[in-house]
Amino acid sequence: MPDGSPCEPPRFTHGDCHAHQLFVAERGVSGIVDMEVASAGDPSSDLFKFGLEMAALFCPTTRWWEPFFAGYGGPPDFETLQHRMLTATDDNYECLGFERPKEQLLHAQDWQELFALRNRALCQ
């Protein structure tokens, strides 16, 4: 998901991406399940869903996004994902057991701050 407009050109997207739907092998993703809503679209929507779930599972100090971004050829546009996280509906956050941290997302300056959604006490 290199720099550029999110939908130019549209790319193949999962459409309802969740972290538990990927099969990971030693050399990367080896399979994906639950593809009934896959189509051309904005890949940042898949990144949002995947990133939100990973942020709920892992502390930001693990920097889990670095190998994920490397597999896609580099990081996506930070502001695009930040805006998607700010404008997502609350149910995207509530289903993972936390409220959308609007102030934190608004003021995040890097990936570690953006993905610091897990309870800080659990990350100590």
pTM over 0.85: no
Max CA pair span of the chain: 42
Q: pLDDT at position 8, please?
A: 58
| 31 pLDDT tier (thresholds 50, 70, 90) | low
CA distance 24 to 82: 26
pLDDT in tens, 39-90: 666 667 778 888 888 888 888 999 988 887 877 678 888 998 999 889 888 8
